[in-house]
A = this chain, B = another copy of it.
């Protein structure tokens, strides 16, 4: 793409950004919890400098909140935040759907169809773990298929935010069935290379996910 980002060997703080972000997304570090610098340094075997650099980056990504002289806390997942995040994510997925229809080659679409079938099997077996995996593979592949780095980056951050919400509410049987339906539709539209249709379907899919999530949440979920 450009001459300035050719090599880019992974540096210590980059590794830390990834690992810490995972700890937050995977709910190992709980929302509202203080991020104990010293403790983390010990357990990760690094000094405070790279760890703190990583925290600044995570703060700019919205996964932690920094308070001057009071360190970092894991950002909370609020209903309001979700209601803000999903529409943005939906807009990006809509764009991804449109572009993917135009850009993906046949082999890629077949690979998605394979993931789609894995997803259906997982649904039949009511295997949540496998379902989430296949589901994520599909969305990831569609994003990749859009051939747009900027889109991919921004999507990655928003998707990670939203993924944290799965610890707040369970996937209802009703929503699960609906999601499967929506995926069937998306698959058809992709194979037909209906760019506009797939975009709209993916947007709708996201917004329905939000509705289900909000419904499943207690009246007010605002963990510290």
A residues neighboring B (CB under 8 Å): 1-5, 7-11, 13, 17, 32, 49, 52-54, 56-57, 60-62, 65-68, 73, 75-76, 78, 80-81, 84-85, 87-88, 91-92, 94-95, 99, 148-151, 153-154, 158, 222, 224
Are B148 and A2 touching (Cβ within 8 A)?
Answer: no
A4 to B17, CA, bound (A): 21
Closest to A89 in B: B150
What are the residues of chain B within 8 A of A10 when measuring CB–CB? 68
Are B66 and A87 touching (Cβ within 8 A)?
Answer: no
Given A2-B78, A4-B73, A67-B8, CB of A154 within 8 Å of CB of B88: yes
Interface of A, helix, strand, loop or mixed by DSSP: helix
Closest to A57 in B: B60
A65 to B11, CA, bound (A): 13
